[in-house]
Amino acid sequence: MTHEEYSIPTKMYQDQGGNYGYIVVPAGKQHDGEKMVQWYHLIFEDFHWGGPNGEYKLINEFELNEILNTNYINQNQI
């Protein structure tokens, strides 16, 4: 049995002030009754907090576009 490396296309977004960031991981597609909708795992980070922190949500592509439509910059693709 061999092990193959599997890479998930994760993206990181940061606000222009450098205070907050989001990590976005694709979670797959699901039919909503009318059409196929992409879902994402969203992890929120506060960079001013002194220790580990974060908030998790499972959101769809429309919610993601609404969240990222507020001055967030795509930092990199991990």
Query: Has residue 1 got a pLDDT over 80?
Result: no
pLDDT at residue 3 in the model? 59
Is position 4 within any domain? no
Task: Locate all alpha helices (DSSP H) within the chain, ordered by sequence.
Answer: 61-68
Q: Domain of 15?
A: 11-77
Round to whole Å and give the CA distance between 22 and 73: 10
Is position 5 within any domain? no
Q: Are strands 20-31 and 36-46 parallel, antiparallel or unpaired?
A: antiparallel
Is position 27 within any domain? yes
Could you give the number of structural domains in the chain?
1
pLDDT at residue 48 in the model? 83
pLDDT at residue 27 in the model? 95
Percent of the chain past pLDDT 90, that is, above it, reads: 37
> How high does pLDDT run on average in the chain?
82
Q: What is the mean pLDDT of residues 61-78?
A: 70
**Among all chains, which residue has been given the structure tokens 């967030």?**
72
Query: Has residue 75 got a pLDDT over 80?
Result: no
Token pair for 14: 């940061």
Round to whole Å and give the CA distance between 49 and 64: 24
Is position 71 within any domain? yes
